[in-house]
Amino acid sequence: RYQDADQRLQDVGWTLARGNVGFCPRVIPSIGLQLQDMASYGAPEIARAALGLEGDFAVQTAARGSPAAQSGAFFRNREIAMLERLDPNRWPAGSEKMNWHRLVWAHDHIDAMLAEHGGIEIGFADGAAARVTPVEVCATRFELMGEGGKAVADGKRVVIGVDFPAFAYPEEDVFAAVVAHELAHNLLEHDAWLDRNRRSRRHVRRTEREADRLMPWLLANAGYDPAAAVTFMTRWGSRHDAGILMIRDHDGWDERAEFIAAELPLVADLVAREGRADWTAHFRREIDPAKGLGGKGSR
């Protein structure tokens, strides 16, 4: 269940990050590969035996349509022996359980190799190797949490709990809407803006409204149905936003659906005329993105 959910998240995340690459404030080279490290599990020896591994590192996902997936070499649980002359299995894992540090190091190393050398050779435990050339994507990592039902963004990552209700939705477009909402927070740099300008309920509500309204733009550029954002908000909100309403740092779900729906004609018109929904030029901001940077903001 966990790997299937992670594959779905990576497939959708890649599609959104690749589809909006022309508009993102920061892009990076990527091959769409995500690894797993047995040291990050509660019982590494049991996980290693269950997957038939001798070492600790293996393929977790290769995002659909990514260079890693297109190479055909990165199938699930294939054991990794080398990341461009470095063997991550030799890195110290520490004595604590669920140590995720090596996995971060491995992904950081891959990113560095792609940025500095325009590709990376990855060796497998069976003696084979694959050299992969990256393409540019919006700079965000997508991560699945092994427990919990929340979806959050921290400026660099989109993190969704495996129990988030949208994983049960059969339509990929509707599931993509929640990923688009969290990605919107990162692309609009909300976390840094809130750090500069206080996380008041008013400020949080305005950033949430922006993320809601940007959802159909991101979906359209990725080839998804932009109206799926309204479907998601109506389906999820009518069942799950009671706690959010008590806090009042979000609008009510019905208001949120209306705000999203109001974007659809503009998105459709831009796609019809220009082939893309350029949100950097045409999306109306709720906040002044320059506020708190040292100059005077407009609000």
Q: Does the predicted TM-score (pTM) go above 0.85?
A: yes
For 50, the token pair is: 């269950």
State pLDDT tens for residues 252-274: 778 999 999 999 999 999 999 99
Q: What is the pLDDT of residue 239?
A: 77
Strands 157-161 and 120-124 turn out to be unpaired
For 208, the token pair is: 């949430």
For 192, the token pair is: 């840094």
**How large is the average pLDDT for residues 135-149?**
94
Q: What is the pLDDT of residue 295?
A: 54
> How far apart (Å, rounded) are the C-alpha atoms in residues 26 and 137?
9
Q: What is the pLDDT of residue 52?
A: 92
State pLDDT tens for residues 4-18: 999 999 999 999 999
Q: Which of 179-188, 212-221, 290-299 has the lowest mean pLDDT?
A: 290-299
State pLDDT tens for residues 181-190: 999 999 999 9
> How far apart (Å, rounded) are the C-alpha atoms in residues 189 and 200?
16
Residue with tokens 């740092």: 249
Hey, which bits of the chain come out as E strands?
A: 27-30, 33-37, 57-62, 80-83, 120-124, 129-132, 135-138, 141-145, 151-153, 157-161
What residues does each domain of the chain span?
Answer: 27-137, 140-282
Tell me what the pLDDT averaged over the chain comes to.
92
Q: What is the pLDDT of residue 243?
A: 47
> How far apart (Å, rounded) are the C-alpha atoms in residues 233 and 250?
12
For 217, the token pair is: 């733009």
CATH topology (fold) of 27-137: Pdz3 Domain (2.30.42)
The answer to whether 230 touches 261, Cβ cutoff 8 Å, is yes
